[in-house]
A and B are shown apart, each in its own frame.
Chain A
Amino acid sequence: MVVAPVAAGKEPALRALLAAMNSAPGIADPRNALVPFGAFEQLHFARLVVLDDALQVDMKVYGVEPARLPTVLVFIGDCDGAADDALADLAKRAGPGLARIFGHCEGFADGTDVLAWLRARDRRAAASFVNWVGRSVRQVREESALQRALSARVPRQALATPADVQRVRGELVDYVAAEVRAGRLALTPPERTPLDWQLRKLAHLIAVPLVTIAALPFLIVLAPFLVWRLRNLETSDPEVCPRPRAADLEALIELEDRDTTNQYTALGAVKPGRFRRWLLTVLLAFTEYACRHVYTRGFLARVQTIHFAHWFFFDDKTRVVFVSNYDGSHQGYMDDFINKVGWGLNVLFSNGVGWPRTRWLVFGGSRIEQSFKYFQRRHQVPTQVWYKAYPGLALVEMKRNHRIREGLERPAMSDADALAWLRLL
């Protein structure tokens, strides 16, 4: 994530420039003149968002007079390979466009080295969820083309015997091979994960439990106090869940439901005090651990409709930005959240100012439907520019397409597996 304060007086011009990158409200034109996202084959999603400090007024419920925070422009991309390489590629091939955009920010002058400038403002996420770790844009597109070809080709009839099943599968395998030879389909083998990535992942896999075990004796000793403190705060933390203003709601909705997938960007202040700050830091570290090592194959607990999600700390951990790309409508997304992982939301977001009242960190909170729905809409920020590399495709299809490809590439299949594979088509 690149974060850059917007220069004084330049916000209106910046907003107009961002809007000019779109082909529909909020939807980036993949060939727009500034940053032609479609030309970057490693890029899954990207967004440009202007974030202000409007909701800092909520700090007043804690008797804190909110400091004025600068309005910032944020750029976030989800890409294959190393983020820094992608940034370099972007700067190399879209440098002038990026210069025009970030020229509205403080510290960017004519002749500034775009890449160095972006790098200096790049920040790591505190936690990131990737629906299917290692699935590249190319793979998504190739597997989708494969599915379309096979779906159109498969004879749609009952198959009386196992021999029929194997014969039909064999014919389809041959058909794909011929299409690949003819250049009409491509099935690029997945790239090997670089060794240093694997090593870093392994180190992370081991280090977090080690640190946790090392800290465990202290945690056990402190537990009664921590629990007492948590309950104390939970019963006294004020809720701030007023209804969002109609015009603000309209501005958000206008950008939605233009694709199977929608974007979500939200911003909020962390509750004041060291307890919440540390609790959230630890919980996000565990979230990162779970997303990196456990939830890497199509689901985040029960939710299977999130492509990418990130949590970023902001302003010395006094604020958090949450961004995600999800399938379906906003209403459906919120229902998924409340009904499937309401507990998970509470664990993290109840450390934010104004969250509906939780009990024991997991109960209540997001399950207080009306308050939660107001809260999350009120904290949502319109995403000025949003790009998706594969319009129309949903995760449920991408998962199925991947299973089709896997089945295709298996040298042999049992009769039952072959039938199950044909039924995927």
Chain B
Amino acid sequence: MSSALPVDLDDIQGLVRFGYKHHTEASFVLLRVKDRDAARRWLASVPVSSAVTIEPLPEFAIQVALTADGMRALGIDDAVVDGFAAEFVVGMGNDANRARRLGDVGANDPSRWQWGAGDRVPHVAVLLYAMPGRLAVLQQAIESQCQAGFERMACLATSDLDGIEPFGFTDGISQPLLDWERKRAARDAERTEYSNLCCLGEVLLGYPNEYGGYTDRPLLDRAAAGPMLPSAEDAPDRADLGRNGSYLVLRQLRQDVHGFWRFVDLQAGGDAVRREQLASAMVGRKRDGTPLIVPAIEKIEGGGDPKDLNAFTYRSDRDGLSCPLGAHIRRSNPRNADLPPGPSGWISWAKRTLGFDADALAHDLVASTRFHRLLRRGREYGPGVTIEQALGQPGGNGNDPGLHFICLGANIARQFEFVQNAWAMGVHFDGVANESDPLLGTRAAGVDGASTDGFSLPRADGPDERIAALPQFVTVLGGAYFFLPGVRALRWLAGTPREASP
């Protein structure tokens, strides 16, 4: 099989491999093409950082991603653009059907967005990362270079909150571990254990995914595309525009920190300990990142040190007594395998597979996690707020903090959209009673008028404790689907022979 082929790290943009955490300063510049040729010239030469490790760390890192609108604006043939995934081609913000699916309704409605809908869809995102104190220089240089070809639509500033998201919780703990050595067998087989190791093809196009297959992407006629692009592993005579690239989902999420802590404080009757407990239950971790699942001692493939904050599954807590079923981190990563656990032996396997094991069936409401992983690369923005400050001052003064949520993946529909729709917004996730994600939920009533603004905390010795009337804490202010191309693909897009077709 081709799985022995090494990975061309120098053709992959660095963000796939690194979070650039030492580059504590970052900003995301959103551009629209003004002059096609000038824009192409800049894209052909912009020094994007690759996934190759460089010591000592360079001062700057630049990453470039494009939307489908952006590719069209650069004059890329529709036939080429249409070879990308349908979600990407249509885009995030100008599709009412997608909005309904993602929970972009009510206050999240794209018509209210600051960017990403109507004619405010960015063409290019330039992600700038810099060592402390160096961003201003970089940003100025890049913006002046871009002036000829682009109009600057927005600049999303970020702030370094030291790994703490605005509500006050340690963020970015759970990440899938990419199989860079291509050791994980990329074939279609049932996995009965949760693994944190993830086939490269789940994030990078052009590599086999967890099904052992290749996700669709534009494969071009070699003669027309020229020699620049890599060849497709699964079709060696074709040029693979997708290879070493990944879809990048960017969403600007405003967080109502004041509203969150005020609400939790009210529920706790002002008791600080109880307040922490409630907030932790909603998240699924304590503020320092400790999971509510105890003891956390499981050995998980790709999970690193057993002491780490990720070495757990929910197998020992099927009823949500330690970590509520609807907690944010349980929804975003349920850590289950392809088949509910059970005794070894083929009889048990057959019973579970055919649905004759009632106990397994009762805990088989959530899709297998490994097909729905998100590689998160978001950054916080706005001022950091302590709980005391949050309790004191109301937000809404235009200076609210939030998250520039970014995730990478090879399949927007199966990964980001599925997690957002079925897990975060799903009002029946794992059998919960009509409630959506305690942090992200829109609280929009169901079609039958049933409220979805509750949060249940199961307990062993009585009916669930139920918190009612949660307000909306997180509001979407913008978003778009980008493609983060491989380096050669970026140069090809910038300098393509115009007549290339698939």
Q: Decide if B414 touches A335 in the complex (CB within 8 Å).
A: yes
> Which residues does chain A contribute within 8 Å of B151, judged by CB atoms?
none
Contact with B along A363-388 (1 / 0, CB 8 A): 01001111000000000000000000
Q: Does B463 lie at the interface of the complex (its beta carbon under 8 Å from any beta carbon of A)?
A: yes
Contact with B along A152-180 (1 / 0, CB 8 A): 00111111100001000000000000000
Contact with B along A127-168 (1 / 0, CB 8 A): 000000000000000000000000100111111100001000
Q: Decide if B464 touches A336 in the complex (CB within 8 Å).
A: no
State the CA gap A370–B215 with chains docked (Å): 6
Please judge, given known A-B contacts A392-B448, A422-B463, whether A329 and B367 are in contact too, CB under 8 Å.
no
> Which residues does chain B contribute within 8 Å of A419, judged by CB atoms?
461-462
Q: Decide if A258 touches B367 in the complex (CB within 8 Å).
A: no
Q: Does B97 lie at the interface of the complex (its beta carbon under 8 Å from any beta carbon of A)?
A: yes
Q: Does A327 lie at the interface of the complex (its beta carbon under 8 Å from any beta carbon of B)?
A: yes
Q: Does B406 lie at the interface of the complex (its beta carbon under 8 Å from any beta carbon of A)?
A: no
The residue from A303, A329, A367 contacting B188, defined by CB atoms under 8 A apart: A367
Q: Decide if B421 touches A331 in the complex (CB within 8 Å).
A: yes
Q: Decide if A423 touches B422 in the complex (CB within 8 Å).
A: no
Of all chain B residues, the one with the shortest Cβ separation from A424 is B463
Q: Does B418 lie at the interface of the complex (its beta carbon under 8 Å from any beta carbon of A)?
A: yes
Q: Decide if B463 touches A259 in the complex (CB within 8 Å).
A: no
Q: Does A260 lie at the interface of the complex (its beta carbon under 8 Å from any beta carbon of B)?
A: yes
Of all chain B residues, the one with the shortest Cβ separation from A425 is B463
> Which residues does chain A contribute within 8 Å of B36, judged by CB atoms?
none
Q: Decide if B418 touches A368 in the complex (CB within 8 Å).
A: no
Contact with B along A282-320 (1 / 0, CB 8 A): 000000000000010001111110000000000000000
Q: Does B10 lie at the interface of the complex (its beta carbon under 8 Å from any beta carbon of A)?
A: no
Please judge, given known A-B contacts A151-B433, A329-B101, A423-B463, whether A246 and B418 are in contact too, CB under 8 Å.
no
State the CA gap A176–B100 with chains docked (Å): 37
| CB neighbors of A among B362-378 (8 A) | 364-365, 367-368, 371-372
State the CA gap A299–B466 with chains docked (Å): 29
Q: Does B361 lie at the interface of the complex (its beta carbon under 8 Å from any beta carbon of A)?
A: yes
Please judge, given known A-B contacts A304-B364, A329-B422, whether A392 and B355 are in contact too, CB under 8 Å.
no
State the CA gap A390–B421 with chains docked (Å): 21
Q: Decide if A158 touches B354 in the complex (CB within 8 Å).
A: no
Q: Does A107 lie at the interface of the complex (its beta carbon under 8 Å from any beta carbon of B)?
A: no
| CB neighbors of B among A313-358 (8 A) | 327-329, 331-332, 335-336, 338-340
Of all chain A residues, the one with the shortest Cβ separation from B434 is A397
Q: Does A84 lie at the interface of the complex (its beta carbon under 8 Å from any beta carbon of B)?
A: no
A-B residue pair count with CB separations less than 8 angstroms = 128
| CB neighbors of A among B401-441 (8 A) | 413-414, 417-418, 421-422, 426-428, 431, 433-434
The residue from B364, B422, B464 contacting A328, defined by CB atoms under 8 A apart: B422
The interface size bin for chain B is 35 or more
Contact with A along B214-228 (1 / 0, CB 8 A): 111000000000000
Contact with B along A271-290 (1 / 0, CB 8 A): 00000000000000000000
The interface size bin for chain A is 35 or more
Q: Decide if A301 touches B213 in the complex (CB within 8 Å).
A: no
Q: Does B498 lie at the interface of the complex (its beta carbon under 8 Å from any beta carbon of A)?
A: no
Please judge, given known A-B contacts A154-B463, A258-B447, A259-B447, whether A246 and B86 are in contact too, CB under 8 Å.
yes
Of all chain B residues, the one with the shortest Cβ separation from A151 is B433
The residue from B355, B414, B463 contacting A302, defined by CB atoms under 8 A apart: B355
Cβ distance B191 to chain A, nearest Cβ, rounded Å: 10
> Which residues does chain B contribute within 8 Å of A394, judged by CB atoms?
428
Q: Does A240 lie at the interface of the complex (its beta carbon under 8 Å from any beta carbon of B)?
A: no
> Which residues does chain A contribute within 8 Å of B447, judged by CB atoms?
258-260, 391-392
Q: Decide if B364 touches A302 in the complex (CB within 8 Å).
A: yes
Q: Does A109 lie at the interface of the complex (its beta carbon under 8 Å from any beta carbon of B)?
A: no
Q: Decide if B355 touches A299 in the complex (CB within 8 Å).
A: yes
20 examples of A-B residue contacts, CB within 8 angstroms: A165-B462, A246-B86, A250-B97, A258-B100, A258-B447, A260-B427, A304-B361, A304-B365, A331-B413, A331-B417, A332-B421, A339-B338, A339-B367, A339-B368, A340-B364, A367-B211, A391-B448, A392-B446, A396-B431, A397-B428
Interface residues, chain B, with chain A CB atoms under 8 Å away: 82, 86, 89-90, 97, 100-101, 188, 209, 211, 213-216, 338, 352-355, 361, 364-365, 367-368, 371-372, 413-414, 417-418, 421-422, 426-428, 431, 433-434, 446-450, 458-459, 461-466
Q: Besides A253-B97, A332-B422, 11 other CB < 8 A contacts?
A: A158-B461, A246-B90, A250-B97, A301-B354, A304-B365, A329-B101, A329-B418, A339-B371, A392-B449, A396-B428, A419-B461
